[in-house]
């Protein structure tokens, strides 16, 4: 690639050479490449690579895009923000990449408990917290990977496009409720928890079971339901779906009597309205059980079924065991979200070499 006519070498006149595969072999895994490593591999100056990441106005658009693309092929995603922070003597901090926006993170009981656990452990170490929220419908991964935080806790769904970046991060990184080979994780056994929820619902001998769950694509549903024991997924909705299906299958409950109702996880309190929309498809005299992937969905369903003009559900089971579940007498699968946050910090900063920190689930049986 050559520079456009009239531009100097500092702006765009450098030719980027083909990427050397030998470098990635030597520097593979989680070892961090340096700016100089990349410059030598690309056959350009260190300043040119630095400008591509830090001073894009110094380069043509074409040259910068070429350098960024070739750098990512090598496993380099920019200068180490931790090193920059230490050089500037900034306060040490941990960043949490979160799966919802700030409003949800600060008001949802399960999110509050998780972040409370993180905060308690960081307070004990006198460390600061950076929250990197999901903006709209997507995580801004560039903000996450370039954060000046000294370590990252990623509590967000992991798509294939960011797996390699996570595997090559130089700073400590821990995943929550997700799995990527080579990256430590804190995991709730969502599959087992969902099995317990479905078994409880089926003990009431329902004719139909309504499952209030997260939105999933047709591809995901196909993957999650493939075989009797599909591989573990990095998505909570998949794992809970598999757990419900396995328990129903083990009990001999017909699959065509399971009614799947998808609820936007940004608006879990809309589950009741979604349940009402399903009513015309249910026999008026059917014994109905409801299992929900969150307590907020289940509580919304309870509110609706109290006035829906037909027999009350024979069982309603939530997931999370938030304080409001106990107040309402809701049976729920307890996961200790505060402990999850605490373990994520300890795994990140204390437990060098550890690969996972499991968080158990427990069925809490109440009136429903």
pLDDT number for residue 232: 74
| Highest-scoring range by mean pLDDT, 57-61, 108-112, 234-238 | 108-112
Q: What is the mean pLDDT of residues 8-33?
A: 40
May I ask the CATH class of domain 88-186?
alpha beta
Least-confidence region, from 11-20, 169-178, 217-226: 11-20
Q: What is the model's pLDDT at position 86?
A: 42
Q: Which residue has the higher pLDDT, 356 or 292?
A: 292
Mean per-residue pLDDT, 227-246: 82
Query: pLDDT > 90: what percent of the chain?
Result: 47
Q: Residue 333 above 90 pLDDT?
A: yes
Average pLDDT score over residue span 331-358? 88
Confidence band for 121, pLDDT divided at 50, 70 and 90: very high
Q: 188-336+359-364: which CATH topology?
A: Rossmann fold (3.40.50)
Report the pLDDT value the prediction gives residue 225, as an integer from 0 to 100. Answer: 67
Would you say 79 and 50 are in contact if contact means Cβ atoms under 8 Å apart? yes
Predicted confidence (pLDDT) per residue in 280-297, tens digit: 999 999 999 999 999 999
Q: Of 229 and 17, which is predicted with more confidence?
A: 229
Does the pLDDT at position 87 exceed 50?
A: no
The model's pLDDT over 124-151, given as tens digits with 9 standing for 90+, comes to 888 999 999 887 667 778 778 878 888 8
Residue 10: pLDDT above 50?
A: no
List, in sequence order, every beta strand (DSSP E) within the chain.
93-98, 128-132, 134-135, 138-139, 151-155, 173-176, 185-188, 208-214, 258-263, 288-292, 315-320, 331-335, 356-359, 361-364
pLDDT, tens digit, 9 for 90 and up, residues 305-319: 988 888 999 999 999
pLDDT surpassing 90 at residue 323: yes
Q: What is the mean pLDDT of residues 96-108?
A: 91
Res 181 pLDDT > 70? yes
**pTM (2 d.p.):** 0.72
Q: Is the model's pLDDT at 26 over the cut of 70?
A: no
Tell whether the model's pLDDT for residue 235 goes beyond 70.
yes
118 confidence band (pLDDT: 50, 70, 90) = very high
Q: What is the pLDDT of residue 19?
A: 42
Per-residue pLDDT of 27-45, as tens digits, reads: 233 445 677 788 888 888 8
Q: 9-79 architecture in CATH?
A: Orthogonal Bundle (1.10)
User: Would you tell me how many other CB atoms lie within 10 Å of the CB of residue 53?
Assistant: 18
So what's the pLDDT on residue 27?
A: 29
Q: Kindly tell me if the per-residue pLDDT of 108 is higher than 90.
A: yes
Strands 173-176 and 185-188: parallel
Q: Is the pLDDT of residue 11 over 90?
A: no
Helix count (H) and strand count (E) of the chain? Answer: 16, 14
- Residue 216: band (very low, low, confident or very high) from pLDDT cuts 50, 70, 90: confident
pLDDT at residue 2 in the model: 35
- The 10s digit of each residue's pLDDT in 254-281 is 999 999 999 998 899 999 999 999 999 9
What is the reported pLDDT for 288?
Answer: 97
Q: Is-same-fold flag (88-186; 188-336+359-364)?
A: yes
Where does 27-184 show beta strands of DSSP type E?
93-98, 128-132, 134-135, 138-139, 151-155, 173-176
Tokens 């905060």, located at residue? 119
What are the residue boundaries of the structural domains of the chain, listed by start? Answer: 9-79, 88-186, 188-336+359-364
CA of 331: how far to CAs of 163, 168, 261, 278, 319, in Å? 36, 42, 20, 22, 8
Tokens of 337: 């979200």
């Amino acid at each position: 690639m050559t520079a456009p006519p009239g531009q100097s070498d500092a702006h765009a006149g450098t030719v980027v050479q083909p990427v050397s595969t030998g470098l990635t072999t030597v520097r593979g895994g989680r070892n961090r490449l340096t700016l100089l490593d990349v410059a030598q591999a690309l056959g350009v100056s260190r300043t040119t690579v630095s400008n591509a990441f830090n001073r894009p106005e110094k380069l043509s658009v074409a040259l910068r895009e070429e350098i960024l693309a070739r750098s990512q092929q090598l496993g380099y995603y920019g200068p180490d923000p931790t090193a920059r922070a230490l050089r500037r003597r900034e306060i040490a901090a941990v960043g949490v990449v979160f799966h919802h926006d700030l409003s949800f993170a600060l008001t949802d009981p399960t999110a509050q408990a998780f972040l409370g656990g993180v905060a308690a452990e960081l307070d004990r170490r006198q460390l600061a917290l950076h929250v990197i929220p999901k903006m709209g419908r997507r995580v801004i991964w560039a903000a996450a990977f370039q954060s000046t935080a000294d370590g990252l806790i990623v509590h967000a769904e992991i798509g294939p496009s960011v797996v390699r970046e996570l595997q090559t991060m130089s700073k400590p990184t821990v995943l929550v409720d997700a799995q990527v080979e080579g990256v430590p994780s804190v995991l709730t056994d969502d599959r087992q928890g969902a099995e317990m929820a479905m078994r409880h619902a089926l003990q009431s001998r329902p004719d139909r079971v309504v499952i209030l769950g997260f939105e999933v694509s047709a591809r995901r549903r196909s993957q999650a339901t493939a075989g009797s024991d599909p591989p573990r997924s990095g998505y909570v909705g998949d794992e809970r779906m598999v757990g419900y299906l396995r328990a129903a299958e083990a009990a001999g409950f017909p699959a065509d009597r399971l009614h799947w109702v998808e609820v936007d996880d940004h608006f879990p309190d809309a589950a009741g309205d979604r349940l009402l929309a399903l009513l015309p498809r249910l026999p008026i005299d059917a014994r109905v059980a409801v299992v929900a992937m969150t307590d907020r969905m289940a509580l919304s369903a309870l509110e609706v079924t109290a006035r829906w003009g037909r027999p009350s559900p024979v069982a309603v089971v939530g997931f999370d065991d938030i304080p409001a579940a106990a107040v309402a007498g809701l049976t729920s699968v307890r996961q200790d979200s505060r402990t999850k946050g605490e373990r994520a910090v300890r795994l990140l900063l204390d437990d060098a070499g550890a690969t996972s920190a499991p968080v158990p689930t427990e069925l809490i049986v109440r009136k429903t």
